């Protein structure tokens, strides 16, 4: 490929929260890149079958647009609870984790999603930030609680923003998913309603909010998008199968 062509204007979503100006954060949509077909246009994942040259160009364009102070910390996400803490030392390879956190300015925490929920966490004065990949498995396993424990900040000083994920009218699951969620938290029953197909519609946002609030985090925002129903703005694995990934990132500017 000798030439790449920009498809459309890069579109970003920024959390609407009250935190220190040191805290910088954004989530991408599918707009503003160079990828084609099911990956059009701002696919930022290398593992989905997209042209590596286009993914690299998309990542470079995002970095330039956001003026990122460093390469995002890319993770191998496995729907678990491992949290990688990024400090001053260089990171070797791609950590296997579903969340990352940092207290160091200039290190960019990031997660890739296309229906699962990106959750961005910030200590309001800018002492620590984290990015969490939260599907239903991660929520049940405790990825939010594990991240908060490693942040080691008073929960009343944490702000949480829930990024674009599959919405409650589209996330149909089987009885086994509901049972797993209720086994971990009986109160999670309120996040499920019967579907016309005899299954269950799950509210991933409600499940995440409940977990955060139970952990003492009450400064919550976001949670008002649906990746599945908004094909113009978002990638959705459940809707399309072969598709791209959005990036949610957060970092601390130098004081």
Q: Where are the domains of the chain?
A: 18-166+218-252
Model confidence at 120, in pLDDT bands (50, 70, 90)? very high
Distance of CA 23 to the CA centre of its chain: 16
Q: Decide if pLDDT at 2 tops 50.
A: no
> Terminal CA-to-CA distance of the chain, rounded, Å?
42
Q: What percent of the chain has pLDDT over 90?
A: 94
- What is the predicted pLDDT for the residue at 141? 98
What's residue 189's pLDDT? 98
Token output for 147: 């991240």
Query: How many CB atoms within 10 Å of residue 14?
Result: 11
CATH of domain 18-166+218-252: 3.60.140.10
Three-state SS string over 159-208 comes to EEEECCCCCCCCCEECHHHHHHHHHHCHHHHHHEEECCCCCEEECHHHHH
């Amino acid at each position: 490929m000798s030439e790449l062509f920009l498809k459309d204007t890069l579109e970003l979503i920024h959390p609407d929260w009250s935190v220190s100006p040191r805290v910088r954060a954004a989530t991408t949509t599918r707009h503003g890149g160079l990828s084609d077909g099911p990956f059009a246009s701002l696919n930022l994942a290398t593992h989905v079958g997209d042209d590596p040259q286009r993914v690299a160009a998309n990542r470079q364009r995002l970095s330039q647009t956001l003026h990122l102070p460093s390469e995002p910390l890319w993770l191998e996400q496995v729907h678990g609870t491992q949290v990688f803490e990024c400090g001053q030392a260089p990171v070797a390879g791609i950590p296997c984790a579903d969340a990352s956190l940092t207290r160091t300015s200039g290190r960019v925490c990031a997660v890739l999603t296309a229906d699962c929920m990106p959750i961005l966490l910030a200590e309001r004065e800018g002492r620590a930030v984290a990015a969490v990949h939260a599907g239903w498995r991660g929520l049940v396993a405790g990825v939010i609680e594990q991240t908060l424990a490693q942040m080691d900040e008073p929960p009343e000083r944490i702000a949480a923003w829930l990024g674009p994920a599959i919405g409650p009218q589209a996330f149909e699951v089987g009885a086994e998913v509901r049972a797993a969620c209720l086994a971990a938290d009986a109160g999670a029953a309120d996040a499920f309603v019967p579907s016309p197909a005899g299954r269950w519609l799950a509210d991933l946002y409600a499940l995440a909010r409940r977990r955060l609030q139970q952990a003492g985090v009450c400064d919550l925002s976001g949670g008002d998008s649906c990746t599945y129903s908004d094909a113009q703005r978002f990638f959705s694995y459940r809707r399309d199968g072969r598709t791209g990934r959005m990036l949610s990132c957060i970092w601390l500017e130098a004081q």
